[in-house]
């Protein structure tokens, strides 16, 4: 795509210092310019005629050049890319006026084309070099780190996201199974990127790839050896209700024979590429993995997650501090023995949940009722009510899953206790109801739930705590 | 990307007949609708919330549905896609007005986003299905067949081209060597797609993949087993000046040992995917193949084409019929013995080039001088002069190649004789001068040429010809 | 394995002319010796200490050297290898005497070791070079061509066969499916090696690899791209009774959808490597392909061949010329109308089967009864009776298959008519009975057969021809 | 290969208890026999006609059966295999007598065939099953563990070794580069099998596969994911003289850029398969790796090991305790300050090399002279002299390498200090001299050495030492 005259003028203006009689900007930079300056000039050249003939070579140079800079210098170049390379203002004004005068489809198309910032073409050309995609993803990661306080980077961020959304389209992703036959260069990425339940070195990784486990990842051919997202699955008999037996098992654990399993538990999903934030993969991954597993193991009947409830404690504490704390009087009374004299509901909860409270059967039994009920309350609030929905719930419910079961002490590792008093949740992916669940959730905020969860929430009114905890 | 309210209204308006209380359009089509109608409804669903949850599944259905239609029915669906799915007019008007009032970068960005037709998002979602990309490329091939007389398809064509340009970015192409170890499913594509020198079945193909040949193609992972473009290369000692010895040789021909060659002749380049017309691959292919060959065979010094001159005869005949025909009087006189009494320059040429004239040494000798000179004239005309440049020349000169040599009787097969009196041309790719050649050609129309070609054109001076061709 | 002194002496004696003070024989040959001489000297060196240090390099040289010889020269070298390299006679005599004196297991082992000809070690060392195995297989092919009249080559032939039997053990073979995704370099081998129903070029090959067909081959990693044996399979509904519809079908024939087939017909099995004659692959191939097909297509119930009966006509003609020709009087009478006055049974048959007799319904009807009956007689003769069993029957019955059906006019191509009046046979591979069938056939000569075939043979006694042919 | 009658009789005799009227032994075992008995019966069946028809299936059963046994039971079966399956004694006697009467080549061949134990055929048939080779290799590993005290296993051991030598012929091995792209299932084998310098987990492994390192292994297709032998190589500038910098370096060490290296140091070679003991791979591995490295990095000039001297200390201590200890008086005197009053040479050495003596510069300086000289003496002793050559030296000298350099404190890890006072050695592989070095070493025991090593040994002359070590 050749530039118009006026765009060139704009480039000339921008890079005036290096332009020599209007032509020099297509030259490669002089050897004595700084690295930063060199990168900027290469970017301009890449968008010029020179870029048309020698695009891949120039793109390679630019990428090498960016890689060689310090982070601060690179940030300066990125800011330049973000602050320049806007559409030709005269042309855009003309197209906007034409559209307003006569809003035909053709005029709309022309306006869209006039409004495309040349920056997008520049980024597409940078992508031509070997390693170009990886570099652009890395640049966006840096940009995201600065974005909150550096608004000047927003246009560049937006253009990158737009391109990534198109380039990393589901149709271009490859699902690969990952197991102990996979290369170390990929496997070590799992250790690095696992975001839910930390992988503690190679022996732990090996345990997660034993025959009763499955692991799948999406890859894109422009990022070889780089998983974009991966999911860890345990094959079980029935819904797993706790992560401890899944994670903390001996190295030579055997587990259920895969052909005997009736359930696939998705117990960890991790996005790997910070630079691709905003491009969603999880929904597709889960659904394709369900299909893969069905094909391999036709006896599988349930496909469900074992998920954390990261926002429960924070929500509950806010509730307890509010004017209408959600504990019933009966519940508050049962907490007394463990409250150490505390009087407010929040203090009572804090007192009751100090130390390793879950290993004290009496405490655990007492707390189970109210906490399970309130977890149901927390998770079943309608998304339409304007309330902040739990982030993990939002993801799975938005994918069309159903809230199937709430599990007491499903995660007694520190993070699980801290986030949600150890409560974990199964979200069930039932292909028959996914579309309807999703639609209801998006349109009305309604949370699809099992009868069991429904009943759990109902327990508040009906009965005392003792029953609830049984 | 969720639709805004106003966009949904627009969808409702468009598909009013099928909308039921504003919600039905997200349902899957009823079983009794026609195939056409079904495809249209699936397209709308795919862009709706339903498409967000079950995108890949819906996209698959839509693609199966399109595949099942007859060509006329499919054309009807395509026309619908092209005539609907425009940006929300109110939102676009607002963004245009805002920009005109205050043309900030942010306003430009918002205008660009408001102007993007939802059709692009629809196409991106169609691409999510397995085989989606192949289907979109096939659809565009059909569209291109109708485009000249069916302008309604233009918006759809433009959106497809925009997406393909981004998706088939050089960074996403994989160069593969093709040889006799390649699968039959790919090899038979070469026979189908070869556009320059027809491949006459498997034995002929085999000859083109002997050890002194190389063949490379670009592939994209979304189109497995489908070459996008391929180039055939002969390894030779010195520049090849004719295709006959390259093509018509015995099956057990051995050729030069690859390690002894100093020249790589690119004697055929074929684009394979009509549906990707407008996305350019040739420039990148040639340049990467040069790098591959250099790495494999460090003794290679010259990288050149052996190319046809498809427009020469038509141009020459037009010139001869003009008021200032470009033959010199001397040249016309030498043609007399073969002119059979014809008097006009054009008639004389026709008479002299009847039958297998090139196998008559006297005729061939007589014609060589003027035809070679005029071929040089034809090829060296400046692109800036407003004249139509030979299409093959335009491609290679635009890539930065140099017109290195004009070859007499380089292609005596019927097509070569018909197009250019058998004249063929070597374009030389010299990495040192590619960028400068390209730039000069694009900016001033100047054709890079060797001294030998320069001298050939100069011969007109000696013979005192009119300056008609300058 | 170092040679003993006495073996070296033997080598010295053999190669005395080139030995120089007892050491030179380990040197590489002088540059002026003939190619033949050079190969012989290299063979000796390869077996010497030099061969221990530089075995792969020497082996490579020897193989290059053998490749460079003319066939007659190479034969001379092969004869040398066959006539020398015997075990050390003194050592062997000692071991034999020791064993006879005291036939312990240890003495037997020592005798076995002393009796191994050093030629086997030489061949093992030749195999160390890249391409060594291929060269040894090629050498044996040449040897087999001379073996009948050149007994001197027998020891070498026997050693090669012994090694090949060990090296090409089933455990070292790889079964690969062959289809249109296979490389051309392998596919063209199928065209070359097909031995049962000739493949007429690439289009014919393509027809044999359509979706309702399967093709599998064994490969060995030392012979890359070289199938050892391959089988062609048609997926059908019910037992196929004729090859015509399998072979002569249009290019775009679709056939039964593979998932709908209940029968796999093995209609062609071809050994590819003449040099491996005597190493059997067919039995293993059929049985593993049965397992592969069962795994891919669980609905398959029958696994059967459609096989020629190559020895039927020759046997029948010999019978008819004998004193007790097997036609009944009634049968002979029915042949009269087509006998043209011939009187002997053999002449009557010849007269009746002249020209395209099978397309004359009357003749075909008349001949069907006696020929089908006699085919059954021919095929059911016991292998124990000392009679020569049909070669194809021997192979399949020896593998444990059952003679399931005899098909009238199952192959009307010239070869089928010439060999067996167009009669073809289905041998059924039923995993349940394979072992018992095989055992009975090997021990008692009994031919496993279906009731239908059993009945066919019985028809002679019972009834007239007319019934038999119905 | 069918058995002769007499062989069958022998089998009958051996397995009389299970034979039922001479036929039952070909049946599969009854369900109630013990696992041991079952395995024995399957072995006999496998060698019978049943084995001809259903070999692969029977072999599979036998292997599963062997795998299911406890080690003691399996040993019992192995002993049976070793004690039975001898050649038919009558036939062998006949062939031996025939040969003695008339020792023709044909008689020798027949004798060799008669002497082959049917056990070899049994083992070849066991190999037909998937996993058969791996099982046989595992069985031999068990056998080797018992061989010293259980001579009954020798015939089986010898047959296995004979077959393995043929099956694992160099021509059937595949060299593969191993790096961080290799699968974890292979990489963890390196950690397990490293025999020279222990690999301390995955991080240590990763360090050994950094860009300035190379690792290659031989694989055999019948043992997938199982390296047979591997070598670790460091790319360096000049000969490396110590392992510490090679092994104990930070994870992010960069090392020399591979293209800048002039030397490849083979610092660790490990055989992996105990069951293949006696089949030599090391010689071939080193030589092919040299060729691979030359092709990849043409600037490499030296290919050398950095090797331990495992027998030095033991030899030296024996020498010092002998009547003519090899220290000179001067040397003994210089040791006095560190001898703590010890008087005998051996005691003085012990006293001087207590604790971390090498980190005391004075001691190290004093000890260096005599120990380096004596290491040279130790290593240069002729193999022909009947003395036991250092095992590592024997391997490399036997391969044709040259003793290039002796390095002071080349390995200060405990094992190196314990074996050889930290002394390490470079053996140089110079393709020009390999064959001659090997030949001289094998025939005359002469150790190829550099001038530097030669000079080192010569130093004893100066100091006037007794010729004890010569």
- Is the predicted pLDDT of residue D53 greater than 70, yes or no? no
> What does the mean pLDDT of chain A come to?
86
- pLDDT of the residue at A31: 65
- How far is residue A448 from each of residues A282, A310, B26, B61, D279, measured CA to CA in Å? 19, 19, 19, 26, 66
Q: Say how many residues make up chain B.
A: 470
Any chain A CB within 8 A of the CB of D185? yes
CA distance D214 to D268: 11
CA distance C21 to C12: 10
Q: How buried is C185 (Cβ within 10 angstroms: 0-12 exposed, 13-18 middle, 19+ buried)?
A: middle
Per CB-CB distance under 8 Å, the chain C contacts of D166 are: 124, 163, 166-167
Mean pLDDT of all residues in D397-411:
94
- pLDDT of the residue at C9: 39
- Is the predicted pLDDT of residue C269 greater than 90, yes or no? yes
Active site residue D165: no
CA distance C290 to C397: 16
As beta bridge partners, residue D403 has D427, D449
Q: How buried is C467 (Cβ within 10 angstroms: 0-12 exposed, 13-18 middle, 19+ buried)?
A: exposed
CA distance D348 to D364: 14
CA distance B345 to D59: 88
Per CB-CB distance under 8 Å, the chain C contacts of D398 are: 53
- pLDDT of the residue at B323: 84
CA distance B409 to B244: 10
Give the side-chain half-sphere CA count within 13 A for A328.
18
- Is the predicted pLDDT of residue C75 greater than 90, yes or no? yes
- Residues 6 or more apart whose Cβ sits within 8 Å of residue A463: none
- pLDDT of the residue at B274: 95
- pLDDT of the residue at C454: 92
B398-445 pLDDT, tens per residue?
999 999 999 999 999 999 999 999 999 999 999 889 888 988 898 888
Query: Quick check: A258 and A300 in contact, CB under 8 A?
Result: no
HEC string of chain B equals: CCCCHHHHHHHHHHCHHHCCCCCHHHCCCCCCCCHHHHHHHHHHHHHCHHHHHHHHHHHHHHHHHHHHCCHHHHHHHHHHHHHCCCCCHHHHHHHHHHHHHCCCHHHHHHHHHHHCCHHHHHHHHHCCCCCHHHHHHHHHHHHHHHHCCCHHHHHHHHHHHHHHHHHCCHHHEEEEECCCCCEHHHHHHHHHHCCCCCCCHHHHHHHCCCCCEEEEEEEECCCCCCCCEEEEEEEECCCCCCCHHHHCCCCCCCCCCHHHCCEEEEEEEEECCHHHCCCCCHHHHHHHHHHHHHHHCCCCCEEEECECCCCHHHHHHHHHCCCCCCCCHHHHHHHHHHHCCCCCHHHHHHHHCCCCHHHCHHHHHHHHHHHHHHHHHHHHCCHHHCCCCCHHHHHHHHCCCEEEEEECCCCCCHHHHHHHCCCEEEEECCCCCHHHHHHHHHHHCCCCECHHHHHHHHHHHHHCCCHHHC
- Is the predicted pLDDT of residue A21 greater than 60, yes or no? no
Q: Which DSSP category does D430 fall into? A: -
* C183 with B185: Cβ contact below 8 A: no
- Is the predicted pLDDT of residue D103 greater than 80, yes or no? yes
Any chain B CB within 8 A of the CB of C182? yes
Mean pLDDT of all residues in A55-81:
90
CA distance B65 to B129: 13
Determine the distance in angstroms separating the CA of B332 from the nearest CA of chain C, rounded to an integer.
Answer: 52
Q: Which residue has the higher pLDDT, D199 or D57?
A: D199
* D183 with A181: Cβ contact below 8 A: yes
A165-199 pLDDT, tens per residue?
999 999 999 999 999 999 999 999 999 999 888 89
Q: Give the three-state DSSP class for D54.
A: helix
Mean pLDDT: which of B58-62, C270-274, C355-359 is highest? C270-274
Q: How confident is the model at residue C137 (pLDDT cuts 50, 70, 90)?
A: very high
Mean pLDDT of all residues in D406-419:
93
- Is the predicted pLDDT of residue D384 greater than 80, yes or no? no
Q: How confident is the model at residue D49 (pLDDT cuts 50, 70, 90)?
A: low
Structure token pair of residue C18? 């080139």
Could you list the beta-strand ranges (E) of C76-126: none
CA distance A195 to A272: 9
Any chain C CB within 8 A of the CB of D166? yes
D120-157 pLDDT, tens per residue?
999 999 999 888 999 999 999 999 999 999 989 999 99
Question: Is beta strand D213-220 parallel, antiparallel or unpaired with respect to D229-236?
Answer: antiparallel
> Which chains reach chain A with 3 or more Cβ–Cβ distances below 8 angstroms?
B, D
Spatial CA neighbour of B263 closest among B275, B253, B255? B255
Structure token pair of residue D347? 């005691």
Any chain A CB within 8 A of the CB of B442? yes
- pLDDT of the residue at A467: 35
Active site residue A54: no
| CA B461 remoteness from chain centre | 37
Interface of D with A in 198-237 (CB under 8 A): 201-202, 206, 225
CA distance D32 to D41: 13
Q: Give the three-state DSSP class for A425.
A: strand
- Is the predicted pLDDT of residue B30 greater than 80, yes or no? no
As beta bridge partners, residue A264 has A235, A303
The DSSP element (H or E) to which D166 belongs, if any, is helix D154-167
Listed range (A51-65, B11-25, B51-65, B426-440) with the worst mean pLDDT? B11-25
- pLDDT of the residue at B367: 92
- Is the predicted pLDDT of residue B338 greater than 60, yes or no? yes
Spatial CA neighbour of A119 closest among A155, A79, A72? A155
A410-429 pLDDT, tens per residue?
999 999 999 999 999 999 99
- Is the predicted pLDDT of residue B254 greater than 90, yes or no? no
CA distance D156 to D178: 34
Chains A and C touch (3+ CB pairs under 8 A): no
Any chain C CB within 8 A of the CB of D354? no
Structure token pair of residue B73? 């029915």
**Interface probe, candidates D192, D202, D207, chain A, greatest A C-beta count within 10 A:** D202
> Which chains reach chain C with 3 or more Cβ–Cβ distances below 8 angstroms?
B, D
* C103 with D89: Cβ contact below 8 A: yes
- Is the predicted pLDDT of residue B3 greater than 90, yes or no? no
- pLDDT of the residue at C196: 86
Strands of B173-177's sheet in order across:
B173-177, B213-220, B229-236, B263-271, B302-305, B424-428, B402-407
Instruction: Look up the pTM and report it.
Output: 0.88
- How far is residue B171 from each of residues A127, B163, B167, B278, measured CA to CA in Å? 5, 15, 9, 17
Query: Quick check: D125 and D51 in contact, CB under 8 A?
Result: yes
Q: Give the three-state DSSP class for C382.
A: coil
- pLDDT of the residue at D26: 37
CA distance D399 to D388: 17
- How far is residue A74 from each of residues A79, B378, D63, measured CA to CA in Å? 9, 50, 63
CA distance C83 to C154: 9
Any chain B CB within 8 A of the CB of C172? no
As beta bridge partners, residue A176 has A217
**Interface probe, candidates B183, B207, B252, chain C, greatest C C-beta count within 10 A:** B183
Q: Give the three-state DSSP class for A241.
A: coil
- pLDDT of the residue at B49: 67
Q: How confident is the model at residue A431 (pLDDT cuts 50, 70, 90)?
A: confident
Q: Which DSSP category does D449 fall into? A: B
Q: How confident is the model at residue C28 (pLDDT cuts 50, 70, 90)?
A: low
CA distance A369 to A326: 13
Alpha helical stretches, state H, A17-168: 35-47, 49-68, 71-83, 89-101, 105-115, 118-126, 132-147, 154-167
Determine the distance in angstroms separating the CA of D198 from the nearest CA of chain C, rounded to an integer.
Answer: 29
Q: How confident is the model at residue B115 (pLDDT cuts 50, 70, 90)?
A: very high
- Is the predicted pLDDT of residue B125 greater than 90, yes or no? yes
Per CB-CB distance under 8 Å, the chain A contacts of B105 are: 83, 86, 155
CA distance C415 to C197: 9
Q: How buried is D418 (Cβ within 10 angstroms: 0-12 exposed, 13-18 middle, 19+ buried)?
A: exposed
CA distance A174 to A224: 11
How wide is the angle at C-alpha B204 spanned by C-alphas B199 and B205, nearest 5°?
A: 75
Q: How confident is the model at residue D14 (pLDDT cuts 50, 70, 90)?
A: very low
CA-nearest residue of chain B to C205?
A: B184
How wide is the angle at C-alpha D104 spanned by C-alphas D98 and D107, nearest 5°?
A: 45
Percent of chain A surpassing pLDDT 90: 61
């Amino acid at each position: 795509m050749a530039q118009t005259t006026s765009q060139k003028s704009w480039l000339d203006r921008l890079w005036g210092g290096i332009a020599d009689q209007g032509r020099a900007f297509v030259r490669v930079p002089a050897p004595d310019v700084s690295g930063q300056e060199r990168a900027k000039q290469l970017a301009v050249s890449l968008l010029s005629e020179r870029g048309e003939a020698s695009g891949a070579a120039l793109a390679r140079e630019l990428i090498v050049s960016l890689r060689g800079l310090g982070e601060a210098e690179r940030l300066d170049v990125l800011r330049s890319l973000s602050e320049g390379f806007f559409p030709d203002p005269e042309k855009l004004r003309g197209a906007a006026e034409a559209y307003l005068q006569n809003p035909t489809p053709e005029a709309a198309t022309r306006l869209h084309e006039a409004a495309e910032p040349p920056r997008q073409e520049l980024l597409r050309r940078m992508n031509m070099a070997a390693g170009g995609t990886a570099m652009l993803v890395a640049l966006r990661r840096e940009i995201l780190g600065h974005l909150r306080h550096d608004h000047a980077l927003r246009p560049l961020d937006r253009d990158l996201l737009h391109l990534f959304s198109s380039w990393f389209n589901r149709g271009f992703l490859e699902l690969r199974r990952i197991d102990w036959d996979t290369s170390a260069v990929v496997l070590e990425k799992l250790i690095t990127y696992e975001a839910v339940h930390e992988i503690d070195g190679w022996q732990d990784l090996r345990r997660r790839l034993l025959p009763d486990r499955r692991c799948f990842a999406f890859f894109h051919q422009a990022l070889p050896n780089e998983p974009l997202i991966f999911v860890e699955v345990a094959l079980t008999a029935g819904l797993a209700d706790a992560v401890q037996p899944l994670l903390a098992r001996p190295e030579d654990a055997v587990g259920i024979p895969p052909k005997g399993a009736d359930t696939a538990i998705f117990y960890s999903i991790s996005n790997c590429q910070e630079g691709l934030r905003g491009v969603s993969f999880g929904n597709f991954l889960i659904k394709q993995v369900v299909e893969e597993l069905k094909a391999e193991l036709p006896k599988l009947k349930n496909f469900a997650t074992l998920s954390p409830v990261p926002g429960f404690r924070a929500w509950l504490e806010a509730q307890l501090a509010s004017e209408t704390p959600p504990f019933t009087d009966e519940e508050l009374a049962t907490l007394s023995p463990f409250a150490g004299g505390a009087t407010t509901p929040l203090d009572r909860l804090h007192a009751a949940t100090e130390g390793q409270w879950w290993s004290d059967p009496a405490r655990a039994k007492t707390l189970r009722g109210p906490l399970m009920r309130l977890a149901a309350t927390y998770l079943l609030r309608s998304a339409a009510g304007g309330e902040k929905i739990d982030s993990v719930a939002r993801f799975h419910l938005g994918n069309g899953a159903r809230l199937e079961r709430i599990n007491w002490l499903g995660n007694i590792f520190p993070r699980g206790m801290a986030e949600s008093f150890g409560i974990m949740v199964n979200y069930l992916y039932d292909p028959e109801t996914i579309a309807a669940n999703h639609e209801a959730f998006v349109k009305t905020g309604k949370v699809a739930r099992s009868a069991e969860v429904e009943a759990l929430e109902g327990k508040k009114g009906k009965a005392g705590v003792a029953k609830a905890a049984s």
